[in-house]
């Protein structure tokens, strides 16, 4: 902030937050600003914000000499922001990055509509992306004499500094470093509408949960703990008319929501891709080198994401440029973040530097502060762990660690990610004897490896997650040698065994979740140790993966190729992994001949993705035990589908069961059909989703079923739409196929006309279908009349599902006519959500009492109500063969529960009864249990919603279980989701 009131240019790398990068003003500089207020008056630009008020000009508060001194102080602090990372003039580059976010801050935007209440703006984002820089720039703009006709004040409150303070008043809090201004504080606070409070790094305020919303105070002269004062300010109990600007990492957003009222959330992104590219070009100077380095960083999605912080961009550029100058290949360095950070660290010192003790001290400091969730350290913190400033000097000289230029007792790391890397290094370095002795005299609040990798600790401190990745990365033999050659220190021999114990035992007690599996694969890839991967993934038999970026594909390919016994892969591919089918691009004739560099950026990304995808898909043609592949909810591309199909068609692929569900593009289904033709091992195939069953698709499907090598037994098709002529062709192929015994047509526009063609095939004596599902195929009662004839004639059909078709009671009547014939072999009938009432129950009851073959019946989601009493008559009849009856959400009444209980006792065949999602109320449950406690029936499983808190029901339940020890009662069968329609198909 210069004499002319202009904002000093700020170089790019300092865009990161002071909280973890120190590329801005360090801790004490922040403290100086904490109590600094600006009283600049001058010409105005109108701003429509009521909180800016037109109070009296207070510029007389500052005497000319004092005012000039404060300006010089701010100017010096601005100069501290200048960073040695940047080589060359930033010009408008820095301004563009700042302005991109600043334009969303309403109280600095003259076009912002008026607002009755003062603004609360929350700047959130990961570490090092510029939240603190942006907040300080807003302070300068707020007090800019060109923006307001009256004096305005800005107070900077650094949470990491305030967490060290004891109880005080709010007035003392904001003036603690400027005691000469304490007399003016009452006058300033009386004009709250002209004050901006910047609360920086709320996530660094060390307070117990809920402490900020307790004991709120509105008196700025009353002594209170600092968290109470800050909570009162954010809750607007203290100075409710002031403008608030809060910065935080995402982990504190949930707590912040309990405090602030109607906040405006602004996510600070840091360097976007174009910013990173521009940074690389300026750092290298040579365009070819810059773009090669940039593409290497972008090929690693995790590293590229870290590059949103300018400090990380500087680390990457510094490391790769040095390698290029030496004629080394930088590609292996960018494979992992660990490899790059280690190379950066080692490149700053000559080999044999013998800084073993200094490196150990630095890593100890990093671990101690990370476990304490601190990014700024003070002299007393160093004393507490027994570290001297002389130990840190080699790293201070190379900007790996930063010392505040105003307050020499404050230190911070170049970036949070490097602090995490050094923390991992602490666990890897072998502990020396003198250090073990010294540890007894100092407080080291650092957990062991097992605690570091525990889920409980990571929930409390998410920064530990990345430490675990780096820890695996440092367990690499080559990296250990590089570390030893540079610093003379050795890796602890126990570290690798400790990692094995933690990760190899993850799946000992329960299957890994998708998130846990991703974490394991990421750690193994970071290690680049194949022997370690073999041990950890050896027990895996089933995996479920959701690929969201290319890095996850790399992780999977590296580790899963070592799964000897892998049997099932469930796969999802997120949108954006493959771009070929999702960008507006008109390829020309020369596109295929283009060099990699001349391709559009999306095409370069796609080529990288396809290379990694090819490696990943090799799993399906190389694992002899891999039998089951499920691809669902996936955004593929034409090229990626062809690559997958190529591996499926190979003779070394032994897939038996394949499920393709809701995959784009639509043409993928045709490619899969083509790949499956002649695949002898394939027995189960599911194709569901939005499939245009055009002529080509139909022909391929028919070729699949007609092929003499076809061994398909199960075929499930969903979401298809075909003409009557196409259904006729399909039905003809079914007649010729001799392997298919289970056909499921779900959500297909079959209609009665298409169903009639299918039924005609099933009346043929040579058809082999045993299970047929026509769920949600828009069938009516007329279709049931034709189906009844099939039930009489067919000697193979045993399972039938007509769920979600409006056949009604009349349709049930037709079906029961077929069921009544002795020739009918049907065993399972699913009529879920078919508009059946008690009248339909009567037809079913009569059929069941005539000794029909039906053993499984599902009437869920039909409003049968009193129809339960009619079904009880069938259950009491000895001719009834039902073993499983599902009445989920059937609006059953409590009046007939006693009758139902009697029927269950007299029935000697029913084994399962599902009454879930029915409100039988307490009276109905009591009636049912009173009967069931009398004697034992054949029932083995009863599902219903009980009222276990009721003492009478609880006692009856115990008596029922005592009387029926083989009976399992599921008392929580009240889920909001209907059971799967075809669970009876077994």
- 3-class SS of residue 742: strand
Q: What is the CB-side half-sphere exposure of residue 453 using CA atoms within 13 A?
A: 23
Mean pLDDT of the chain: 81
- 3-class SS of residue 220: coil
**Same domain, yes or no: 242 and 100:** yes
- Supply the CATH number for residue 88's domain: 3.40.50
| 16 pLDDT above the threshold of 60 | no
CA distances from 822 to 410, 793, 815 (A): 91, 11, 14
| 139 pLDDT above the threshold of 80 | yes
In a domain, 289, yes or no: yes
**Same domain, yes or no: 108 and 190:** yes
pLDDT class of 321 with cuts at 50, 70, 90:
very high
**Same domain, yes or no: 282 and 251:** no
**Same domain, yes or no: 147 and 235:** yes
Which residues make Cβ contacts (< 8 Å) with residue 962, sequence separation at least 6?
A: 933
User: CB 485: neighbour CB atoms within 10 A?
Assistant: 12
Residue range 656-683, pLDDT digits in tens? 999 999 999 988 999 999 999 999 999 9
What is the average per-residue pLDDT within 827-845? 96
Instruction: Specify the number of domains making up the chain.
Output: 2
Please report the pLDDT score of residue 692 as a whole number: 61
Measured distance CA(335)–CA(339) in Å, rounded: 7
Q: Which residue has the tokens 């949103």?
A: 308
**Same domain, yes or no: 178 and 320:** no
Q: Which residue has the tokens 């220190």?
A: 489
**Same domain, yes or no: 196 and 291:** no
User: CB 562: neighbour CB atoms within 10 A?
Assistant: 18
Lowest mean pLDDT among 171-175, 523-527, 763-767: 763-767
In a domain, 299, yes or no: yes
**Same domain, yes or no: 224 and 278:** no
In a domain, 946, yes or no: no
CA 903 to chain centroid, in Å, comes to 50
* β-pair partners for 856: 828, 884
**Same domain, yes or no: 154 and 293:** no
Residue range 703-726, pLDDT digits in tens? 999 999 999 999 998 877 777 777
In a domain, 92, yes or no: yes
**pTM summary value:** 0.78
In a domain, 224, yes or no: yes
Please report the pLDDT score of residue 415 as a whole number: 93
**Same domain, yes or no: 76 and 152:** yes
**Same domain, yes or no: 96 and 172:** yes
Measured distance CA(381)–CA(738) in Å, rounded: 78
- The 8-class DSSP code of residue 88 comes to S
Please report the pLDDT score of residue 144 as a whole number: 73
**Same domain, yes or no: 156 and 134:** yes
Q: Per the structure block, which two tokens stand in for 650?
A: 């190979």
| 42 pLDDT above the threshold of 60 | no
In a domain, 675, yes or no: no
Please report the pLDDT score of residue 658 as a whole number: 97
Please report the pLDDT score of residue 29 as a whole number: 28
Residue positions counted in the chain: 986
Which residues make Cβ contacts (< 8 Å) with residue 740, sequence separation at least 6?
A: 705, 712, 713, 714, 715, 734, 768, 769
Domain boundary among 267, 285, 300: 267
- The 8-class DSSP code of residue 429 comes to B
In a domain, 240, yes or no: yes
User: Dihedral (C-alpha) 198, 203, 204, 206: value to the nearest 10 degrees?
Assistant: 110
Lowest mean pLDDT among 431-435, 610-614, 663-667: 431-435
What is the average per-residue pLDDT within 347-351? 90
**Same domain, yes or no: 292 and 247:** no
Give the H/E segment covering residue 910: none
Domain of residue 130 covers 69-267
Residue range 901-948, pLDDT digits in tens? 999 989 999 999 999 999 888 899 999 999 988 877 789 999 998 776
């Amino acid at each position: 902030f210069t004499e002319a009131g202009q904002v000093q240019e700020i170089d790019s790398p300092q865009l990161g937050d002071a909280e973890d990068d120190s590329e801005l003003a360090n801790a004490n500089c922040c403290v100086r600003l904490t109590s600094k207020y600006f009283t600049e008056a001058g010409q105005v630009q109108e701003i429509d914000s009521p909180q800016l008020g037109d109070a009296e000009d207070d510029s007389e508060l500052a005497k000319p000499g004092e005012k000039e001194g404060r300006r010089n102080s701010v100017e010096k602090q601005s100069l501290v922001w200048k960073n040695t990372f940047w080589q060359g003039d930033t010009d408008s580059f820095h301004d563009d990055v700042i302005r991109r976010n600043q334009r969303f801050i309403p109280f600095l935007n003259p076009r912002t509509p008026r607002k009755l209440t003062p603004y609360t703006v929350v700047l959130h984002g990961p570490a090092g992306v510029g939240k603190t820089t942006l907040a300080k720039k807003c302070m300068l703009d707020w007090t800019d004499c060109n923006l307001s006709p009256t004096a305005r004040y800005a107070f900077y409150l650094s949470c990491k500094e305030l967490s060290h303070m004891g109880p005080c008043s709010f007035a003392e809090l904001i003036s603690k470093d400027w005691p000469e201004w304490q007399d003016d504080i009452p006058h300033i606070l009386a004009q709250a509408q002209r004050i901006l409070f910047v609360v920086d790094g709320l996530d660094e305020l060390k307070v117990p949960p809920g402490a900020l919303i307790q004991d709120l105070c509105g008196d700025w002269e009353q002594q209170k703990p600092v968290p109470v004062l800050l909570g009162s300010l954010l809750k607007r109990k203290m100075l409710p008319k002031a403008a608030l600007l809060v910065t935080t990492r995402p982990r504190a957003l949930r707590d912040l929501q309990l405090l602030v009222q109607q906040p405006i959330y602004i996510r600070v992104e840091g360097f976007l891709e174009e910013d990173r590219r521009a940074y690389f070009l300026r750092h290298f100077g040579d365009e070819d080198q810059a773009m090669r380095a940039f593409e290497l960083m972008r090929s690693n999605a995790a590293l590229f994401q870290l590059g949103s912080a300018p400090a990380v961009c500087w680390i990457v550029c510094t490391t790769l440029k040095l390698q290029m100058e030496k004629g080394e290949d930088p590609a292996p360095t960018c494979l992992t973040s660990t490899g790059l950070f280690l190379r950066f660290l080692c490149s700053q010192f000559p080999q044999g530097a013998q800084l073993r003790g200094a490196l150990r001290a630095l890593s100890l400091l990093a671990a101690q502060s990370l476990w304490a969730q601190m990014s700024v350290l003070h002299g007393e913190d160093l004393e507490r762990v027994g570290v001297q400033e002389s130990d840190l000097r080699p790293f201070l000289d190379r900007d790996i660690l930063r010392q505040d230029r105003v307050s020499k007792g404050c230190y911070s790391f170049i970036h949070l990610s490097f602090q995490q890397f050094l923390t991992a290094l602490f666990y890897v370095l072998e502990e020396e004897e003198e250090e073990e002795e010294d540890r007894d005299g100092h407080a080291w609040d650092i957990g062991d490896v097992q605690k570091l990798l525990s889920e409980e600790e990571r929930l409390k401190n998410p920064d530990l997650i990345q430490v675990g990745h780096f820890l695996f990365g440092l367990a690499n033999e080559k990296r250990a040698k590089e570390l030893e050659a540079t610093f003379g220190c050795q890796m602890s021999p126990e570290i690798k065994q400790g990692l094995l114990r933690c990760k190899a035992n993850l799946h000992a007690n329960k299957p890994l979740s998708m998130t846990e599996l991703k974490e394991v694969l990421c750690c193994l890839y970071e290690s680049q140790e194949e022997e370690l991967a073999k041990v950890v993934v050896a027990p895996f038999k089933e995996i479920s993966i959701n690929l969201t970026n290319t890095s996850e594909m790399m992780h999977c390919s590296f580790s899963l190729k070592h799964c000897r016994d892998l049997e099932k892969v469930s796969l999802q591919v997120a949108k954006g992994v493959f771009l070929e089918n999702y960008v507006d691009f008109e390829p020309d004739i020369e596109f295929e001949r283009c060099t990699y560099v001349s391709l559009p950026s999306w095409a370069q990304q796609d080529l990288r993705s396809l290379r990694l995808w090819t490696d990943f898909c090799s799993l399906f043609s190389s694992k002899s035990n891999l039998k089951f592949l499920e691809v669902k909810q996936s955004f593929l591309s034409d090229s990626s589908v062809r690559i997958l199909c190529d591996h499926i068609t190979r003779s070394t692929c032994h897939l038996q069961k394949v499920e393709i569900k809701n995959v784009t593009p639509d043409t993928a289904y045709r490619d899969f059909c083509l790949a499956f033709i002649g695949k002898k091992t394939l027995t189960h195939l599911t194709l569901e989703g939005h499939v245009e069953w055009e002529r080509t698709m139909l022909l391929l499907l028919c070729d699949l079923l007609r092929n003499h090598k076809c061994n398909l037994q199960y075929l499930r098709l969903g979401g298809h739409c075909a003409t009557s002529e196409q259904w006729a062709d399909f039905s003809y192929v079914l007649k010729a196929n001799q392997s298919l015994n289970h056909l499921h047509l779900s959500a297909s526009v079959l209609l009665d006309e298409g169903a009639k063609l299918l039924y005609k095939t099933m009346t043929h004596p040579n058809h082999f279908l045993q299970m047929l599902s026509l769920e949600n195929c828009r069938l009516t009662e007329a279709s049931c009349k034709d189906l009844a004839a099939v039930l009489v004639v067919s000697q193979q059909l045993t399972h039938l599902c007509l769920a979600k078709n409006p056949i009604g009671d009349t349709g049930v009547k037709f079906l029961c006519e077929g069921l009544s014939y002795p020739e009918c072999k049907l065993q399972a009938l699913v009529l879920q959500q078919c508009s059946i009432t008690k009248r339909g129950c009567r037809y079913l009851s009569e059929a069941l009492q005539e000794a029909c073959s039906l053993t499984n019946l599902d009437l869920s989601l039909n409003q049968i109500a009193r129809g339960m009493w009619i079904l009880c008559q069938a259950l009491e009849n000895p001719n009834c063969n039902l073993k499983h009856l599902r009445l989920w959400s059937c609006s059953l009444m409590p009046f007939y529960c006693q009758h139902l209980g009697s029927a269950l006792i007299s029935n000697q065949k029913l084994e399962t009864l599902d009454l879930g999602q029915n409100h039988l109320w307490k009276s109905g449950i009591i009636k049912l249990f009173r009967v069931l406690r009398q004697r034992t029936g054949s029932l083995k499983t009863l599902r219903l919603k009980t009222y276990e808190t009721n003492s009478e029901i609880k006692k009856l339940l115990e008596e029922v279980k005592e009387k029926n020890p083989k009976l399992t009662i599921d008392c929580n069968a009240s889920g909001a989701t209907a059971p799967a329609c075809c669970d009876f198909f077994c």
